[in-house]
Amino acid sequence: MTAYRYRALNTEGKLVRGVLEGDSERQVRSQLRGQSLRPVDVALANVRETASRGWSLSFLKPRINVGEMALLTRQLATLVQSNLPLDECLQAAAEQSRKPRTKGLLLQVRSRVAEGHTLAYAMGEFPTVFDEMYRAMVSAGEHAGFLGPVLEQLADYTEQRQYTGQKLKMAMIYPFILVGVAIAVVVALMVFVVPELVGIFAHTSRDLPLLTRGLIAASDFFRDYGLWLLVAIVLLMLLVRRLLRNPARRKTWHRWLLAMPGISGVVTAVDTARFASTLSILMASGVPLLEALRSAGKVLTNLVLREDSEAVAERVQEGSSLNRALRESGRFPPMMVHMLASGETSGEHETLLPRSAQNQEREREMTLGTVMGLFEPLMVVVMGGMVLTIVLAILLPIFDLNTMVR
């Protein structure tokens, strides 16, 4: 059966929307009439996905946030391990979902599975929802006959990613609020307070201090061109974002980030931790090493690091060991390389790889914690210096007037 989206009127004349499965539109309309609903529109549930592919509008493509994906994966893992048929598991997960988009997506996947396709193949029709790593693990679990445990590992991984993302967002809330309030205070002083004080000093015959003249000039500039400056900044950000859509420009930008002191360590720590954890999960799920390396490389956001991971996969394919290939790339942390070398020598590769991934995760958290810990006092010092400069620029002429009166 195929999933159909519908719009119908209930007995009170209100428009309701939803998703139903049926062999044809006619059957779906009959089901709606059996539910005392009057059909208004019935269409295939995957029309929106097809249209979005044709127009390449990313905001129209179906997406599921990390929290929903973690919950969905956990539900599927529980249902599959209950020895229910796969199509019934997908049906139950769809009925459990409260969002029509997620429900329609699951019903479409179920319809493909009911047609005889594998779960990984059915998920492959929605790459914006199920990424390559997700599909590779599902495929490995299906071929090995351990789909339930693999989905459990996927659920753990997705929940950990959600936890890390929420932790990072919570850590960034205070600095962003601090920056926003400080900028608002400075702009308010420059636009509203400083012009009022200019009138006080305008009747004096003495020259104003250089700091005060600079403050007045900056205040006049913000009053006359502040709105245009804001528009220019927004346009510049949009232009940079558009330019970075080009892979060559984005790769140059990523290479520049890796060359910057301080920033390069954060970028490398974040991406290599994601690479190590993904590779660990894929290997534990029974995915072959080459396929695991290629899938793990695609989760790297930095294009230079992604290119290095592809080179690592090529060296491994040519017969090189994994630790030697990683060492020759020069981008991956030495601790990770040494642990992999020890695992390959002792035959405990599957044990040391997850431990290396955990070490990378801890290093990433420590790096981000250090950066955020330094960012907050730095912003306090910078904004305090700006406010102090404004106060001094206001007080210096007052001190001169006091001296002149004496």
Percent of the residues in the chain that have a pLDDT greater than 70, as a whole number: 88
Residue 47 pLDDT level (bands cut at 50, 70, 90): very low
Domains of the chain, residue spans = 2-44, 66-159
SS3 annotation, 201-223 = HHCCCCCCCHHHHHHHHHHHHHH
DSSP state of 145: T
CA atoms within 13 A of residue 152's CA, in its CB half-sphere: 10
Write the pLDDT tens digit of every residue in 263-281. Answer: 787 788 778 877 877 787 7
Q: Work out the average pLDDT over 80-87.
A: 86
What is the residue-averaged pLDDT of the chain?
A: 79
Least trusted range by pLDDT, from 39-53, 252-266, 363-377: 39-53
Rounded to 10 degrees, what is the CA torsion of 78, 81, 85, 88?
Answer: -10
Residue-wise over 42-74: b if at least 16 C-beta within 10 A, else e? beebbebbeebeeeeeeeebbebeeebbbbbbb
Cβ-based neighbours of 402, under 8 Å, separated by 6 or more:
none
Q: Which residues contact 264 (CB under 8 A, 6 or more apart)?
A: 257, 258
DSSP string, 82-140: TT--HHHHHHHHHHH--SHHHHHHHHHHHHHHHTT--HHHHHTT-TTTS-HHHHHHHHH
Residue 23 pLDDT greater than 50, yes or no: yes
Give pLDDT tens digits for 332-354: 778 778 877 887 777 776 677 77
DSSP 29-51: HHHHHHTT-EEEEEEETTHHHHH
- For 210-244, the pLDDT digits (tens) are 888 888 888 888 888 888 988 999 999 999 988 88
Domain 66-159 CATH class label: mainly alpha
Q: How far apart are CA 142 and CA 146, in angstroms?
A: 6
Task: Quote the pTM value.
Answer: 0.62
